[in-house]
Structure 1
Amino acid sequence: MAISNEERDFFIALGERITQLRKKNGITQTEMAEKLKVSQQTVQAWEAGRRRIKVSSLPSVAQIFTISLEELFGEAPEKIKSKRGPVPKWQQQIEEIDSLPKTKQKIISEMLGAMINNSRN
């Protein structure tokens, strides 16, 4: 069964989002394939938009990246859209940390962990 141009565009955009999320999270195609119990070639085909992702696989893909299905599809989650008031400073800092390379995120995470443990004692 052929797919429409609109469906093809959707799967290409979804593949691009998966690629971005996978790289942002420091996950290889092989690691992602192992988690989803598919081949690395399947993940590669999804990312290139050459193969459609099974609907049953979408929740697992979203779970790997700890995001909602809406976010996976490129939609902002409702709770973020309807949130009122300014974003707290700590949340702004977390978002800034999230935009850093993984190696720097790890260093900051270790520092924060040490500081939190130290403040508990």
Structure 2
Amino acid sequence: MKLGKNLSHYRHAAGFTQCEAANILNISRQCLSNWETDHREPRIGDIIEMCQLYNITINQLVYGKNI
């Protein structure tokens, strides 16, 4: 499974819109959209912040465990 699909899945599972998650992560909605469509990849710091926000592990986010 691709990272972008995992990003979108866990954001939805946590109950956030792209705008809400982007605001909390201090990034633009377009940036988050690019990550979720695999046009760009987030930096490790951004991955860690998303894991904390979505209350998941890095393995879940990167590898799609438990999807």
Q: What TM-score bracket applies, with the shorter chain setting the length? A: 0.7 to 0.9
Contact 2:6–2:64 (CA under 8 A) maintained in structure 1: no
Distance 2:64 2:30 in 1: 27
Find the residue that maps to 2:63 and give its secondary structure.
Answer: coil
From 15, 40, 48, give the equivalent of 1:26: 15
Residue segments in structure 1 that go unaligned for 5+ positions in a row = 1-9, 77-121
CA RMSD of aligned residues (A): 1.5
Q: Which residue of 1 aligns with 2:6?
A: 17
* Cα distance in 2 between the residues matched to 1:19 and 1:75: 11
Structure 1 residue runs of 4+, over 4 Å off? none
Highest relative contact order (Cα 8 Å, sep 6+), 1 or 2?
Answer: 2
Offset from partner CA, 1:65-118 (integer Å, 9 cap, x none): 101111111264xxxxxxxxxxxxxxxxxxxxxxxxxxxxxxxxxxxxxxxxxx
Q: How many residues of Structure 1 are paired with residues of Structure 2 in the alignment?
A: 65
- Indicate conservation of the 8 Å contact 2:18/2:29, yes or no: yes
Q: Percent identity?
A: 26
Q: Which residue of 2 aligns with 1:68?
A: 57
Give the TM-score normalised by structure 2: 0.86
Structure 2's unaligned 5+ residue stretches are none
Matches within 5 A, 1:44-83: 44-74=33-63, 76=65
1:30 partner amino acid: C
The alignment's TM-score, normalised by the length of structure 1, stands at 0.50
Q: CA deviation at 1:32?
A: 0.6
Q: Structure 1, residues 23-75: CA drift from partner, whole Å, max 9, x if none?
A: 12210000110111000000000000001101111110101110111111126
